[in-house]
Amino acid sequence: EKDILQPLTVPKDKLLGGLLPTGFDETSCLSRYESHLYSKSLQHKPSSYLISGLRRYEALHKQCGPYTELYNRTVNLIKSGEYSSDSSVCNYVVWISYSGLGNRILTLATAFLYALLTNRVLLVDPRANLHNLFCEPFPEVSWLLPPDFPIIDQFSSFNKKSPHSYGYMVRNNVTGNSRIPSFLYLHLCHDFDVQDKLFFCDTDQTILHKVPWLFVKSNNYYVPALFLIPSFEQELNNLFPEKGTVFHFLGRYLFHPTNSVWGLITRYYQAYLAQADEKIGIQIRVFSLGVSNFKYVLNQILACATKENLLPKVNLNEPVANSSGKTKTISVLMTSLSSRYFEEIRNMYWQNPTVTGEIVSVFQPSHEEHQQTEKLMHDRKALAEIYLLSLTDKLVTSGWSTFGYVAYSLGGLKPWILYKFQEGTVHNPPCFRATSLEPCYHSPPYYDCKKKTASNNTVSIAPHMRHCEDNSWGLKLF
Ligand code: GDP
């Protein structure tokens, strides 16, 4: 019997070890308190320091969130263009939507961690579909920036050349004078310049600390670089005694699918996954390869799955498996923009019996063909699939893909990661077992704040950090 059919007989902790706050209306966001019925119980426990930090944050959010008196007062600083060193205002970090869903989920969690570390309030770009995808994470007061926010129409034009960007100001010596701006834009995308990278230095953090509004755009999981800022180190160690669980906990705390997405998830789970003895997830993400590479990608997937004993071998010599008694059932959930890999693998298990008699069913919820970020139904499906992958027992993901990073980290699963599919490269081994639940930071700053020069010495000076197995330039916590 699966516990999902009898939730009451398996008392699990619906607040996830105290990670989630109580007091939300349950029906308006079913996933928040139902997720524990589907996912495995947390293997790691959130620290009591993290739990009290979250409760403190929630109180701050309630005090400073949209349309509170303090919010209105701080918005006026933007309108008047002036900064007063008035301590009765709140400080904010505004997350600007950018890039695909996996990237957005990672950068949003990172912005939240930055807010926790700097006593800022996190507000979210309302132009993204986010409110259709995720429930409000904080009790009582919304995390969405109100659409009447004064400079909202400038968000899409913010880039590293914007006069409001911190990097631009440093380049043009604007920060030297004593006037503190009421807002700044932080460009933390993969193409950032040396001056943008100063964000990751303590002296610059001291300057930023005085600015009430920070707007951040990124397409990267820059959490590892926050661990390299000395003034954050102690706090981060207290929040996360186990370094390899940062996104796992922040993700489980922040991201609760809305009821419409939860419907997609739970119906699919009940129909295709719940009854299986074993659930295997395979996420295929192919970045810019020609169609002619289809066979080669397929071979890499199958080589990984069989080498790591994730999928049973098929018997090409017998028409029927001779098994006695109850046979083990394996459900394979595949996700990809294309349906070809799935069709091929499904047919393989239809046309041949398995060597050891298991029954393998293979399925894929959608094949969207192209990325269509910010189309509502497309994003909903993407989120549902990420979430379904996180509910499997064993997971294979694709190197370099933030879609896969989010799935395994939310699920608390150490995945097998396929080396990035690359023109003309046959990877042997085809995949590797991840060392931690953490996503990879693809474009670290590699800047030495003391010497004020570029430096790639980061890994040797930082404990619990290493280069990513799927991206040797990247950094990840473990
Ligand atoms: P990344 O590009 O793999 O790092 O992941 P992102 O999530 O940031 O961007 C890829 C986007 O393409 C996703 O957000 C989806 O919109 C779409 N996409 C890619 N793979 C899949 C898939 O397997 N299923 C679905 N439904 N969408 C996908």
The interface predicted TM-score of the complex, written ipTM, equals 0.99
Atom of ligand 1 nearest to the CA of 336: 23
State both tokens at 468. Answer: 């990513």
Considering the domain boundaries, does residue 158 fall inside one?
yes
What's the total number of domains in the chain?
A: 2
Q: Do 476 and 224 meet the contact criterion of CB atoms below 8 Å apart?
A: yes
**Rounded (5°) CA angle 352-357-359:** 75
Three-state helix/strand/coil letters over the chain: CCHHHCHHHCCCCCCCCCCCCCCCCCHHHHHHHHHHHHCCCCCCCCCHHHHHHHHHHHHHHHHHCCCCHHHHHHHHHHHHCCCCCCCCCCCEEEECCCCCHHHHHHHHHHHHHHHHHHCCEEEECCCCCHHHHECCCCCCCCCECCCCCCCHHHHHHCCCCCCCEHHHHHHCCCCCCCCCCCEEEEECCCCCCHHHHHHHCHHHHHHHCCCCEEEEECCCCCHHHHCCCHHHHHHHHHHCCCHHHHHHHHHHHHCCECHHHHHHHHHHHHHHHCCCCEEEEEECCCCCCCHHHHHHHHHHHHHHHHHCCCCCCECCCCCCCCCCCCCCEEEEEEECCCCHHHHHHHHHHHHCCECCCCEEEEECCCCCCCCCCCCHHHHHHHHHHHHHHHCCCEEEEECCCHHHHHHHHHHCCCCEEECCCCCCCCCCCCEEECCCCCCCECCCCCEECCCCEECCCHHHHCCCEEEECCEEEEEEEC
Phi, psi of 432 (to 5 degrees): -140, 160
Residue 382 has pLDDT above 80, yes or no: yes
Residue 313 has pLDDT above 90, yes or no: yes
Considering the domain boundaries, does residue 418 fall inside one?
yes
Instruction: Decide: 132 in ligand 1 pocket, CB within 6 A.
Output: no
Q: What is the dihedral of CA 171, 177, 179, 181, to 10 degrees?
A: 0
Residue 220 has pLDDT above 80, yes or no: yes
Structure confidence at residue 329 (pLDDT): 96
Structure confidence at residue 11 (pLDDT): 45
Instruction: Verify that 299 and 194 share a domain, yes or no.
Output: no
Instruction: Decide: 402 in ligand 1 pocket, CB within 6 A.
Output: yes
Instruction: Verify that 238 and 283 share a domain, yes or no.
Output: no
Residue 335 has pLDDT above 50, yes or no: yes
Atom of ligand 1 nearest to the CA of 284: 23
pLDDT above 70 covers what percent of the chain? 94
C-alpha 274/C-alpha 371 separation (Å) is: 29
Considering the domain boundaries, does residue 61 fall inside one?
yes
Residue 459 has pLDDT above 70, yes or no: no
Instruction: Decide: 336 in ligand 1 pocket, CB within 6 A.
Output: yes
Instruction: Verify that 287 and 199 share a domain, yes or no.
Output: no
Considering the domain boundaries, does residue 28 fall inside one?
no
Given 223, 254, 285, the domain boundary residue is: 254
> Which of 402, 296, 311, 295 is closest to 352 using CA atoms?
311
Instruction: Verify that 473 and 424 share a domain, yes or no.
Output: yes
Mean of pLDDT values over 387-413: 98
Structure confidence at residue 260 (pLDDT): 98
Instruction: Verify that 192 and 280 share a domain, yes or no.
Output: no
**Rounded (5°) CA angle 315-352-431:** 70
- The residue contributing the CA closest to ligand 1 atom 14 is 101
Instruction: Decide: 470 in ligand 1 pocket, CB within 6 A.
Output: no
Instruction: Verify that 247 and 364 share a domain, yes or no.
Output: no
Instruction: Decide: 386 in ligand 1 pocket, CB within 6 A.
Output: no
What CATH number does the domain containing 290 carry?
Answer: 3.40.50.11350
Interval 104-156: pLDDT, tens: 999 999 999 999 999 999 999 999 889 999 999 999 999 999 999 999 999 99
Structure confidence at residue 119 (pLDDT): 97
Q: How far is the CA of 178 from the centre of ligand 1 (A)?
A: 45
Considering the domain boundaries, does residue 37 fall inside one?
no
Phi, psi of 94 (to 5 degrees): -105, 120
C-alpha 474/C-alpha 439 separation (Å) is: 10
- The residue contributing the CA closest to ligand 1 atom 10 is 100
Structure confidence at residue 426 (pLDDT): 87
CB atoms within 10 A of CB 229: 17
Ligand 1: residue of 133, 289, 371, 401 to mutate (most ligand atoms within 8 A of CB) is 371
Q: Do 386 and 439 meet the contact criterion of CB atoms below 8 Å apart?
A: no
C-alpha 198/C-alpha 135 separation (Å) is: 34
Structure confidence at residue 422 (pLDDT): 87
Q: How far is the CA of 381 from the centre of ligand 1 (A)?
A: 10
Banded model confidence at residue 180, pLDDT cuts 50, 70, 90: confident
State both tokens at 84. Answer: 């007063």
Banded model confidence at residue 461, pLDDT cuts 50, 70, 90: low
C-alpha 432/C-alpha 130 separation (Å) is: 33
Ramachandran class of 18: left when φ > 0, alpha when ψ lies in -120 to 50, beta otherwise = left
- The residue contributing the CA closest to ligand 1 atom 22 is 336
Mean of pLDDT values over 231-249: 97
Q: How far is the CA of 371 from the centre of ligand 1 (A)?
A: 6
Residue 258 has pLDDT above 90, yes or no: yes
Instruction: Verify that 333 and 420 share a domain, yes or no.
Output: yes
Q: How far is the CA of 445 from the centre of ligand 1 (A)?
A: 25
pLDDT above 90 covers what percent of the chain? 84
Mean of pLDDT values over 449-463: 80
Q: How far is the CA of 404 from the centre of ligand 1 (A)?
A: 9
Structure confidence at residue 232 (pLDDT): 97
Considering the domain boundaries, does residue 14 fall inside one?
no
C-alpha 258/C-alpha 131 separation (Å) is: 8
Banded model confidence at residue 179, pLDDT cuts 50, 70, 90: confident
Structure confidence at residue 134 (pLDDT): 98
Structure confidence at residue 156 (pLDDT): 92
Arithmetic mean of pLDDT over the chain? 92
Instruction: Verify that 75 and 166 share a domain, yes or no.
Output: yes
- For residue 390, the enclosing domain spans 276-477
Structure confidence at residue 3 (pLDDT): 44
Considering the domain boundaries, does residue 267 fall inside one?
no
Structure confidence at residue 176 (pLDDT): 61
Instruction: Verify that 186 and 298 share a domain, yes or no.
Output: no
Instruction: Decide: 359 in ligand 1 pocket, CB within 6 A.
Output: no
Instruction: Verify that 436 and 384 share a domain, yes or no.
Output: yes
Q: How far is the CA of 48 from the centre of ligand 1 (A)?
A: 34
Q: What is the dihedral of CA 187, 191, 193, 199, to 10 degrees?
A: 40
C-alpha pair distances (Å), 286 with each of 99, 293, 333, 357, 422: 17, 10, 17, 32, 9
Residue 328 has pLDDT above 80, yes or no: yes
State both tokens at 196. Answer: 């943008």
Q: How far is the CA of 370 from the centre of ligand 1 (A)?
A: 9
- The residue contributing the CA closest to ligand 1 atom 23 is 336
Ligand 1: residue of 99, 190, 403 to mutate (most ligand atoms within 8 A of CB) is 403
C-alpha 17/C-alpha 20 separation (Å) is: 8
Instruction: Verify that 147 and 292 share a domain, yes or no.
Output: no
Banded model confidence at residue 178, pLDDT cuts 50, 70, 90: low
Residue 1 has pLDDT above 50, yes or no: no
Structure confidence at residue 8 (pLDDT): 43
Instruction: Verify that 158 and 280 share a domain, yes or no.
Output: no
Considering the domain boundaries, does residue 237 fall inside one?
yes
Given 188, 223, 254, the domain boundary residue is: 254
Banded model confidence at residue 6, pLDDT cuts 50, 70, 90: very low
Mean of pLDDT values over 54-79: 95
